[in-house]
Amino acid sequence: MSRFITITLEQRGVTCRARLLDEEAPRTCSAVWDALPVSAQVYHGKYARNEIYTLVPHPGREPGAENTTITPIPGDVCWFTFDGDQLGNAAYGYETQDEHRAAGHGDLVDLAVFYGRNNLLVNGDQGWVPGNVFAEIVDGLTEMAAACQDLWMGGVRGERLTFARADPPQG
């Protein structure tokens, strides 16, 4: 039986539903499911193009690479693991690596939603950044894409991205 999650932009009141890809990415799905719910500041991608994401503390169980891509398609939901050194460049707008370490943070997980075409996961500092595709949006992508475009043009300040478990669809 398929498992589902909701992905919500809290301030904008927009939610979509995604199906976990348990067969294609079982370790990643398990790590995400066990960590839910999670909610944090949303960011819009600088490099990948049509991407929003949030950074959450690593749950402690690293799934490793599975069902990876560098060219996510609309509706893909991905997991990336980063350490403080990888996100320490001030150009990213996050805490510096020293602040990150001083605050007691370890690795971070980037949970990303891709809402449009022509994405390419390359970063000027890191090079290619493959992500684990662990879910696909099955309902609400059009509304989420419009809200994501509003984030790009209107800014992300004060907006939170929340991932939570969802009941299976009725019927």
Please give the model's pTM, rounded to 2 decimal places.
Answer: 0.89
User: Pick from 1, 11, 32, 15: which is nearest to 132 by CA?
Assistant: 32
What is residue 73's predicted lDDT score, i.e. its pLDDT? 98
Q: pLDDT tens across 12-70, in order?
A: 999 999 999 999 999 999 999 999 999 999 999 887 899 999 988 888 889 999 999 99
Across the range 146-151, mean pLDDT stands at 96
Q: pLDDT tens across 98-132, in order?
A: 444 444 456 889 999 999 999 999 877 778 999 99
pLDDT grade, residue 150 (50/70/90)?
A: very high
Map out the domains of the chain with their CATH numbers: 4-166 (2.40.100.20)
What is residue 96's predicted lDDT score, i.e. its pLDDT? 42
Q: In whole angstroms, what is the distance from residue 27 CA to residue 24 CA?
A: 9
Concatenated DSSP letters of the chain = ---EEEEEETTTTEEEEEEE-TTT-HHHHHHHHHH-SEEEEEEE-SSSSSEEEEEEE--S----S-SEESS--TTEEEEEEE-TTTT--GGG-S--HHHHHHTT---EEEEEEE-SS----EETTTEE--EEEEEEEEE-HHHHHHHHHHHHHH--TT-EEEEEEEPPPP-
